[in-house]
Amino acid sequence: MTRASRPKKAAKAGARTRSPRHRPEDARGIIVRAAIDFLAKRPYRELNVGVLMAATPLSRPAFYRYFTDVEDLIEQLLAEFERGMQDHAIPWFSREVTTAADSIRQFRASMEGLTRIVAASGPLYRAISEAASMHPGLEQMWSRFMGDWDSAVARRIRLEQQAGLIEPALESDRVAHAFNRMDAALMIEAFGRGRARPADIKRVVDTMCEVWIRVLWPADSARSSAKPADRRRTRSRAD
């Protein structure tokens, strides 16, 4: 073997050990997926850049192309998570107020979309809520996140109160706060470890809708919760 040939062989050996190149959007997605997978099994306090990147085919410096630290990663994910929830909340939160029956249909559509979003990122949702009390930065993120939803729900309740669809005696701010915490607890329990079976999603949606509808639209709650066969029998008797 000549000296000239040795560097070439060394270069080839180095090329074989180099991590494959990924497009920026793919690399970021790999990091995000690894973070969510980690949080499905272990607590947020154990998450650090070294542990996270060891679970990916990427080098450690790749992390810093997208995030400044783990807290920045979580903050970006929570912002994306919230945007997805807002998109799915449109049926009830943004549509014109018409009738109680329409509000109930729109509300259920929103809850189904919101629940699917949470189910897809359940470990992230659980990790932030659990770690918020121990990390000031996360506590601020979580408080703002929940506060934004409290305000949106309270505004919608007041709109429907003004339209005569919801009992005016209900305190919109307190109801919104209580219901949002109930929903968060139910979804964290159901999806916080990464379980997202369709049956679990349906069960959570049914539970939340039953409670909300009975409180906000009690006069229409029996009709909205009736099974299709029951509704057909009711209509046939009326005819």
In percent, the amount of the chain with pLDDT more than 90 equals: 55
What per-residue confidence (pLDDT) applies to 220?
A: 80
Instruction: Answer yes or no: is 231 within a domain.
Output: no
State which residues form the domain around 36.
19-67
Decide: residue 236, CB within 10 A, 0-12 exposed, 13-18 middle, 19+ buried. Answer: exposed
What average pLDDT does the segment 143-149 reach? 93
Of 51, 67, 83, the one marking the end of a domain is: 67
Are both 114 and 157 inside the same structural domain?
Answer: yes
pLDDT at 164 over 80: yes
Q: Report the pLDDT averaged over residues 55-63.
A: 95
More confident call, 179 vs 133: 179
H-helix or E-strand containing 149?
helix 136-162
Answer with the residue of higher pLDDT: 86 or 208. 208
Structural contact between residues 22 and 66, judged by C-beta atoms closer than 8 angstroms = no
Q: Is 186 inside any structural domain?
A: yes
- Residue 128: the pLDDT is 85
pLDDT at 171 over 90: yes
User: Is residue 151 domain-shared with residue 175, that is, in the same domain?
Assistant: yes
Neighbouring CB atoms inside 10 A of 56's CB total 18
Domain shared by 51 and 132, yes or no:
no
What total of structural domains would you count in the chain?
Answer: 2
Rank 113-122, 150-159, 230-239 by mean pLDDT and report only the highest: 150-159
Q: Which phi and psi angles does 216 have, rounded to 5°?
A: -80, -40
* Alpha-carbon span 104 to 140, nearest angstrom: 33
What DSSP string describes 194-219? S---HHHHHHHHHHHHHHHHHHH-HH
* pTM metric for this prediction: 0.76
- pLDDT at 22 exceeding the cut of 80: no
Indicate if 197 and 119 belong to the same structural domain: yes
48 shares a domain with 142: no
The answer to whether residue 7 is domain-embedded is no
Asked, for residue 170, whether it belongs to a domain, the answer is yes
Least confident of 29-33, 191-195, 203-207: 191-195
- On whether residue 174 sits in a domain, the answer given is yes
Instruction: Determine the straight-line distance between the first and last CA of the chain, rounded to whole angstroms.
Output: 97
Residues 87 and 104 reside in one and the same domain: yes
One domain, residues 85 and 105: yes
* pLDDT greater than 90 at residue 194: no
Q: What's the pLDDT score for residue 11?
A: 41
- In this predicted structure, which of 17-31, 99-113, 127-141 has the lowest mean pLDDT? 17-31
pLDDT above 50 for 118: yes
Task: Note whether 97 and 49 are same-domain residues.
Answer: no
Return the closest-CA partner of residue 124 out of 142, 144, 109: 142
Greater model confidence, 124 or 64: 64
pLDDT of res. 133: 79
In a domain, 200, yes or no: yes
Give the pLDDT of residue 219. Answer: 87
Residues 6+ apart with CB under 8 A from 229: none
Domain boundary among 38, 67, 96: 67
- Structure token digits, residue 239: 């005819």
- In this structure, the answer to whether residues 160 and 214 fall within a common structural domain is yes
102 and 49 both lie in a single domain: no
Over residues 173-191, the mean pLDDT reads 95
pLDDT at 29 over 90: yes
In a domain, 234, yes or no: no
Q: Report pLDDT for 18.
A: 42
Domain of residue 42, CATH code: 1.10.10
| CATH number (domain holding residue 108) | 1.10.357.10
Amino acid, single-letter form, for residue 45: R
**pLDDT, mean over the chain:** 84
81 and 115: one domain? yes
